[in-house]
């Protein structure tokens, strides 16, 4: 066990093989540390599984299991049933990428929710199959360049819209579903904690930028995810029993180009007339989200500015843990 940090469990600790600046590693680290080590984690196949459990080494410090790509929700349902049968109570948490959620894992996820399993399903959405080399998924926004939606003489990238998975999930009328992203830690924390306080199936959709697949500077993962929210492209929502119960209000709406221009996956759009039409299309989608969810006028405690406010001595974090034998940390000067 690695106990370097007295203020955090490091449920997902160092030595994992995620790319530099990985948004998913960051998201998973935050979420799992908010949940803590007294939980059972089920992971779908995908980047997170691959980079955390490489060749007989694991970065996890909690009970964790991976089976196959499509079945994480069903495995979790089995774990949860076992817990119930054995009279044990602890969070059962699925972690999956957008492939394991929107596409191949959707059926098991739907079944798990429909049957009311007491499972928190966390989707780290990086909007394509990154692990296999950036192929499009149903979560990939339209217009995006991936290796299976390449722009070309006849194409401006992906032809189809990003699947509205949160609406699909919410249509199950489950107790709690929410979207979040890494840029707003207090918001993410509030949502994880709220989810942990609710029994039954819960769904958390965390946008997790991928420097490799999105082709942005590795230092910009947080910035990019913040812009996804501020432009309205990725609205932060809470849905309870199918009804919208909370949104993150936008302190100001930013034009989608501010978001698109930081990312190589949209770069081709700016070269052609047809591409610019797709840019306007993405703007129209952002506008539609804003109107649909009332992102500019909603009466909420949070807005995108307040949620960012950094405070002296932190904004609260994880439970303090007791350190038995801290490892010597080399601080290379």
Partner 1 sequence: MRKLLEGSHAVAEAVRLCRPQVVAAYPITPQTHIIERLAQQVADGELAAEFISAESEFGAASLVLGAVAAGAQAFTATASQGLLLMTEVLYNIAGMRLPVVMVCANRALGAPINIFCDHQDSMALRDAGWIQIYVESNQEAVDSLIQAYRLAETCELPVMICMDGFLLTHTFEPVTLPTQSAVDEYLPAFRFSRTLDPARPMTLGGGSEADNYQEYRVAQQEAMENAETVIEAFDAEFSEQFGRSYGGLLQGYRLDGAQTVLLGLGSLMGTVRDVVDTLRDEGEAVGALRLRCFRPFPAQSLVQSLSTAQRIIVLEKAFSVGAGGMVAAEVRAALQQAGIMTPVESVIGGLGGRDLTADVIQAIFQGTTTEPFRVGRFAPDPVEEGGVGHG
Partner 2 sequence: MAAKLAFEPGSSTAYHTGDWRSQRPFYHDKWPPCGQTCPASEDIQAWLALASDHQWEAAWHKLVARNPFPATMGRVCYHPCESACNRKHLDSAVNIHAMERHLGDMALAHGWAHQPLTPGRQTQRVAVVGAGPAGLSCAFQLARRGYPVTIFDAATEAGGTLRSGIPDYRLPKSVLAREIGAILALGITLKLNTRIGEAICAETLREEFDAVFLAIGAQRPRLYPGDSSQHSVMSGIDFLHRINQGERPALPKQVAVIGGGNTAIDVARCARRLGAEVTVVCAQNPHGTQLGQPGAEIPSSQQEIRQAEAEGIRIRYRTGVRRLVRSGQHLSGLEVARVDQVHDRHGNFDPKLFEGTEEFLPAGLAIFAIGQEVDWSGLESLTQAPGVVLGGDAAGEHRFAVTAVGSGYQGAMSIIAFLTGIPPLREHHEKAEITFKALNLDYYPKQARRGSETAQQRIDGFDELVTGLADNDAEEEADRCLSCGVCFKCDNCWHFCPDAAVIKKADGYEIDYDYCKGCGICAQECPCGHIDMERLTA
Where does this chain bind partner 2 (CB under 8 A)? Answer: 1-2, 4-8, 10, 12-23, 25-26, 29-30, 52-54, 56-62, 182, 185, 211, 217-223, 226, 305-306, 308-315, 317, 329-332
The distance in angstroms from the start CA to the end CA of the chain is 26
Q: Which residues pair with 237 in a beta bridge?
A: 247
**Residue with smaller CB distance to partner 1, 116 or 264:** 116
Q: Which residues bind partner 1 (CB under 8 A)?
A: 37-40, 42-43, 49-50, 52-58, 60-68, 70-71, 74-86, 90, 107-108, 110-111, 114-115
3-state secondary structure of 125: strand
Beta strands in 182-242 (DSSP E): 202-207, 237-240
**Looking at beta carbons only, is 49 or 263 nearer to partner 1?**
49
Alpha-carbon distance 201 to 170, whole Å? 11
Out of partner 1, partner 2, none, what residue 42 binds, judged by CB under 5 to 8 A for its kind, is partner 1
- With CB under 5 to 8 Å by kind, the binding choice for 154 among partner 1, partner 2, none is none
Going by their DSSP bridges, the two strands 176-181 and 202-207 should be labelled as parallel
Consecutive H or E run containing 96: strand 92-97
Please state, as a whole number, how many other Cβ atoms lie within 10 Å of the Cβ of residue 318.
18
* CA angle (72 as vertex; 128, 110 as ends), nearest 5: 85
Class of residue 300 by CB neighbours under 10 A (exposed 0-12, middle 13-18, buried 19+): middle
**Minimum separation from the CB atom of position 132 to partner 1 (A):** 15
Least distance CB 198 / partner 2 (angstroms): 24
Write down the least CB distance from residue 161 to partner 2, Å: 29
274 touches, from partner 2, partner 1, none (C-beta below 5 to 8 Å by class): none
Residue 118 binding partner per list partner 2, partner 1, none, with a CB distance cut-off of 5 to 8 Å that depends on partner kind: none
Which of partner 2, partner 1, none binds 67 (CB below 5-8 Å, type-dependent)?
A: partner 1
């Amino acid at each position: 066990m690695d106990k370097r940090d007295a203020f955090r469990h490091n449920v997902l600790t160092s030595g994992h093989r995620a790319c530099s600046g990985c948004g998913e590693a960051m998201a998973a680290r935050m979420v799992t540390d908010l949940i803590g080590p007294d939980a059972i984690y089920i992971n779908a196949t995908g980047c997170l599984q691959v980079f955390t459990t490489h060749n007989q080494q694991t970065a996890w410090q909690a009970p964790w299991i991976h089976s196959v790509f499509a079945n994480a929700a069903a495995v979790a349902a089995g774990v949860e049933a076992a817990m119930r049968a054995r009279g044990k109570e602890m969070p059962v948490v699925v972690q999956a990428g957008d492939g394991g959620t929107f596409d191949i894992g959707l059926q098991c996820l739907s079944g798990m929710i429909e049957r009311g399993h007491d499972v928190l399903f966390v989707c780290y959405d990086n909007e394509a199959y990154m692990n296999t080399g950036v192929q499009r998924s149903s979560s990939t926004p339209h217009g995006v360049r991936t290796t299976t939606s390449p722009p070309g003489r006849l194409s401006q990238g992906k032809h189809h819209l990003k699947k509205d998975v949160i609406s699909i999930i919410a249509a199950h009328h489950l107790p709690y579903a929410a979207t979040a992203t890494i840029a707003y830690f207090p918001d993410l924390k509030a949502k994880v904690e709220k989810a942990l306080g609710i029994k039954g199936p819960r769904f958390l959709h965390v946008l997790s930028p991928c420097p490799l697949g999105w082709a942005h500077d590795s230092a910009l993962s947080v910035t990019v995810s913040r812009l996804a929210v501020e432009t309205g492209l990725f609205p932060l929502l809470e849905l309870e029993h199918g009804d919208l119960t909370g949104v993150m209000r936008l302190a100001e709406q930013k034009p989608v180009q501010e978001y698109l221009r930081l990312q190589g996956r949209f770069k081709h759009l700016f070269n052609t007339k047809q591409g610019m039409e797709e840019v306007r299309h993405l703007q129209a989608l952002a506008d539609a989200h804003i109107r649909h969810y009332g992102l500019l006028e909603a009466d909420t405690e949070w807005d995108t500015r307040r949620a960012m406010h950094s405070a002296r001595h932190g904004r609260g974090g994880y439970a303090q843990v007791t350190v038995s034998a801290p490892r010597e940390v080399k601080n290379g000067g």
